[in-house]
Structures are given as C-alpha cells and as structure tokens.
Amino acid sequence: MWNYGDKDVGNGANKPKEEVFDDFSDLEVVEIKSTDIPKTAGSSQSSYLDDSFWNGRATHWKECYLTLIVVGINVLVFIMQVLNRKADAYGNIMDPMIEGGCMSWPTVFNDGQLYRLITAQFLHAGIGHLLGNMLFLLLCGMMLEKRLSRKRWLILYAVGGLGASLSSVIIGHFFPTVMSRYVVIGGVTYEIGKTEIYDVASIGASGAIAALIAAIVLYKLLLSSPLDGYSDNSWAPVLELAFAYLIYSAVSGMFETTAGVDNKAHIGGLITGIVVMLVYMMIEYKKQSRPTWE
C-alpha cells in the first residue's frame, strides 16, 4: 500500500505385511510417509488441516479462481485509471479515480466517506506498484485458497484489507509520515529534504496481502509437525516469500517520487491476518474436540 500525495491425500497404502527375518542384514530401509498411512473414520485430522500443498503437489489454476478474480478486479480498475487520466493546466497528470477513492482521515471520517477504506485497496499508483502487489497476491492467494474454504479466504482478505486501511488512516492522523521533497533540474530529479506530513492519502492492495502472508506463516508455525511428512526445508518457501515481500515493501517507494511506502497499513494487515487465522484455528480445534457418537 502506498501513501499518495498530501491529501486428498490419495488412497492409503495397504498395511505392510509383517515378516520374520532370520538375518537382519537382509533388511531394507523403507521411508514411510504420512500420505502412505490410511486415515480412519475417527481420525482427528480434517481436510482443512491436510497440508498436501506443502508436500510439493502442483497447484491447479482452476482450484484458485477466487484469487484470479481478485487479481482481475485490480487489473481492470488500473486500466480504468489509465483511461481516465488527464493533464491539468500545468501539465500535471491527474487521476480522478485516485482522487475519488484514496483514503485519509479527513475524507473518511470528517467527510464520512467510509467507502474509501475499501476502494483505496483496488487503486494503484503506477504499473510497478500494481505488478508487485499482484505477484504477491497470486502467490499468497493460491497457497491459502487451497488450504482454506473460499468463504474463509474471502473473509481473511476483506477483513485484512479493512484492518490495514483503518491502521493507515488512524495512525497517520496521530503520527506523521516522513516523505521526501524533490526538485527537477534539467530533467534530473534531486531530493532536497524531507517533510513530516499528517493525514497522507493512501492506496494499494498490499495491506490485505500482508494479512495473507501473516496467515501463511501462522499456518505453518502452528500446524506443521515432524509427523506430517514435511521435509527439513519445508519452511524455505514461506520464509523466502515473507522476506521477498519485506524487501519489496521497503524499496518500492524509492522509484516513485510522489509516493511513499505505507508501513502503517502493512502492520495493520499483518496483525489483522494473525487474528483472523487464530479465530479459524480455534473454530477447527473446537470442531475436532467435540465427542463423536457411534
């Protein structure tokens, strides 16, 4: 999110046949994976906790159409932004959609335009901002959509985005955002100082994406165990994803002189994603702990 301007794990294998060996030198070591163990009707492991995705199974695009829909909406909105842009009397490019959909304390609370907490999540400052966010949305969205129900995925994304928006607006109202001031001389842009600004307008989907990343890390942290068939480096993809997102968030604002990184929204998204995911896990835990009647 950017500050913008001043305003089924297959059928189980048959149980190994017990044999008696007279010579232990003939024994062959066989690796038994959790996917080779059939699940009984009374097993406490549910499909929700089934982690086949992390065992390297391919993700099918058709199983993650909700993620693709959200990405498509963001791309479509950006195309509309480009088509509606126009220059003012001084040659500055104006974006009416950003002006009408970005969020800040004055527009959201003083003017009562609460819809901006949502519309701002689908607006982007430029093609680099859009592509970076959509890349992470695809990666994180597809991971979680296979693990959660689509209803839960949508709730996580929506609530995470709303939490990020509120965090950006509220914290931005009481604590200033430090933004650089530039001057263009002979076609070259120079930084001439920094300014503390309150109530900076913000746009972007990265706050909601931060909620997805937090949910992924929490999912791995609390639901992984050595008995689930994970390899030693099963954490590598998750850590790489989180690290790449942090780097992207830190440096993306360097390439846009009129925008800065809204870390307030990222923090709000991370916290909201953790809370929502903990609620989901508590719901599943209660379901599994209920007694079953034969």
Of 117-121, 131-135, 141-145, 224-228, give the lowest mean pLDDT range.
Answer: 224-228
pLDDT at 115 over 90: yes
Which two structure tokens, joined as six digits, stand for 244?
A: 């790449």
CB atoms closer than 10 angstroms to residue 279: 14
pLDDT of residue 18: 47
pLDDT confidence band for 111 (50 / 70 / 90): very high
The CATH code of domain 60-289 reads 1.20.1540.10
pLDDT at site 37: 42
% of the chain residues with pLDDT over 70: 65
The pLDDT tens digits for 38-55 are: 444 443 333 333 444 444
Q: Which residue has the higher pLDDT, 255 or 220?
A: 220
Which of residues 255 and 272 earns the better pLDDT score?
Answer: 272
- The string of DSSP codes covering 55-106 is GTPPPPGGGGHHHHHHHHHHHHHHHHHHHH-EE-TTS-EE-HHHHHH-B-HI
Tokens 């008995």 — which residue? 227
Evaluate if residue 194 carries a pLDDT over 50: yes
Q: What mean pLDDT is predicted for residues 111-121?
A: 96
- pLDDT recorded at residue 251: 63
pLDDT of res. 289: 67
Q: Does the structure show a pLDDT above 60 at 175? A: yes
Which pLDDT does position 5 carry in this prediction?
56
Task: Kindly tell me the burial class for residue 31, based on how many C-beta atoms sit within 10 Å of its own C-beta (0-12, 13-18, 19 or more).
Answer: exposed
pTM metric for this prediction: 0.71
Q: What residues does each domain of the chain span?
A: 60-289
- Tokens standing for residue 5: 């301007």
Query: What pLDDT is recorded for position 4?
Result: 60
Kindly report, residue by residue over 198-251, the tens digit of the pLDDT: 898 999 999 999 999 998 888 877 766 443 333 444 556 666 677 777 676 666
Q: Identify the top-confidence range among 31-40, 62-71, 76-85, 240-249.
A: 76-85
Neighbouring C-beta atoms of residue 95, cutoff 10 Å: 20
Please, what is the Cα angle at 97 between 160 and 194, to 5 degrees?
A: 75
- Which of 94-103, 166-175, 245-254 shows the lowest mean pLDDT across its residues? 245-254
